[in-house]
Chain A
Amino acid sequence: MTVGIVLVSHSPAVAGSVADLAAELAGPSVAIRAAGGTDDGRFGTSIELISAAVRSADSGDGVCVIMDMGSSVLTSKTLVEDLEDEADAPVVRLADAPFAEGAVAAAVLASTGQDLDAVVASAEHAWSMRKL
């Protein structure tokens, strides 16, 4: 079992770089996909990019989505609502987590074969990992 991870940011570079960071720490077994910016490469959010990333990240064990803020959150919530109307849609959970720290926490746990609930919980637990 390997849960997929999708990272949604207003910035294509931020989503891509955090995906690289999480992949470096989690190893090659976890599908981590970036959905940053709009479909024409501007800052913003694209439901089509997020949808494509979710479908690419899913191996049948579900997908944990981590968002930065604002329209990233609202667009991801809208996608979850859309998928509820779709047969055979990937199982998607949104994690209420800090972006980079949550991505690393989720990806590392996913690499151990834990299920979607555990991966989401790991991302959300990142809030409580104090740095100082």
Chain B
Amino acid sequence: MAFDVQTATAWITASEAVVKANEARLTGLDAAIGDGDHGANMARGLAAALANIAEKEPATPGDVLVAAGRGIVAKTGGASGPLYGTAFRRAGKALGDATEATAEQVGDALEAALTAIKELGGAAEGDKTMVDGLAPAVAAFRQAVADGGDLASASVAAADAAEAGLAATVPLQARKGRASYLGARSVGHEDPGAASLALILRALAEVTA
């Protein structure tokens, strides 16, 4: 299958649903080391993403992701707003005018999202952030495509890698955001941003299956 308007819209729809279903868990993770608003913020941002997609009626999958990003930036309210919002917008722009993006193009879009998040937030791998989920996920997605995998199998590889990356944030000490003020006390918890990222990439695997 190709990544078209329907698939892109289904991805954002599924992301909103899974984040809403996990809102309490994300907020609980964030309450442990952050400011305890990640679940509510992400739910609000993704709901705004869906509303903006419905309003803009985008004609390409790239425009779907750009519309989602704009909604997220406008309404999320926390640091995850500009980070996820810019990530979706850059991913959408990377898809260009394609009406049916290939797995390779989706890999390029995910790479553009990773680059955007690193530039905006200044985080590197190992800082206990969403980058610890997204960086291995992008690498796994591209490797799967290079090995001849399709969009569905590459998306599963990315989701698996994001979940492994999330688990690997537990022993890390945070070097970005509110959690970084906690120093060693940030060790022993999953990073909330890596947790929401894993949910969103699992949603991609589900809608492309």
Enumerate chain A interface residues (CB-CB to B < 8 A). 38-39, 42, 44-48, 70-71, 74-75, 77-78, 81
Q: Which of these binds chain A: B1-9, B71-79, B94-102, B145-153?
A: B71-79
Q: List 20 A-B contacts (CB under 8 A).
A: A38-B77, A39-B75, A44-B37, A44-B41, A45-B81, A46-B74, A46-B77, A47-B73, A48-B74, A70-B177, A71-B78, A74-B83, A75-B81, A75-B82, A77-B82, A77-B120, A78-B85, A78-B86, A78-B120, A81-B86
Q: Given the complex of chains A and B, what is the CA–CA distance between A79 and B160 in angstroms?
A: 33
Which among B77, B80, B86, B178 has the highest number of chain A CB atoms within 10 Å?
Answer: B77
Could you tell me which residues of chain B, from 63 to 120, have a CB within 8 Å of some CB in chain A? 73-75, 77-83, 85-86, 120
Pick from A42, A77, A78, A81: contact of B77, CB below 8 A: A42
Pick from B37, B41, B74, B82: contact of A74, CB below 8 A: B82
Which residues of chain A are within 8 angstroms of B79 by Cβ–Cβ distance?
70-71, 74
Which among B81, B83, B120, B177 has the highest number of chain A CB atoms within 10 Å?
Answer: B81
| Chain A residue nearest in CB terms to B117 | A74
| Chain A residue nearest in CB terms to B79 | A71
Top 10 closest A-B pairs, CB basis?
A44-B77, A71-B79, A74-B82, A78-B82, A38-B77, A75-B82, A70-B79, A71-B78, A74-B79, A47-B73
Q: How distant is B85 from chain A, measured CB to nearest CB, in Å?
A: 7
Q: Given the complex of chains A and B, what is the CA–CA distance between A74 and B82 in angstroms?
A: 6
Q: Given the complex of chains A and B, what is the CA–CA distance between A42 and B178 in angstroms?
A: 18
Given contacts A44-B77, A47-B74, contact A74 B120 (CB under 8 A): yes
Q: Given the complex of chains A and B, what is the CA–CA distance between A70 and B121 in angstroms?
A: 9
Which residues of chain A are within 8 angstroms of B77 by Cβ–Cβ distance?
38, 42, 44-46, 71
Given contacts A42-B77, A77-B120, A78-B73, contact A47 B177 (CB under 8 A): no
Which residues of chain B are within 8 angstroms of A46 by Cβ–Cβ distance?
74, 77
Given contacts A70-B177, A70-B178, A74-B120, contact A45 B78 (CB under 8 A): yes
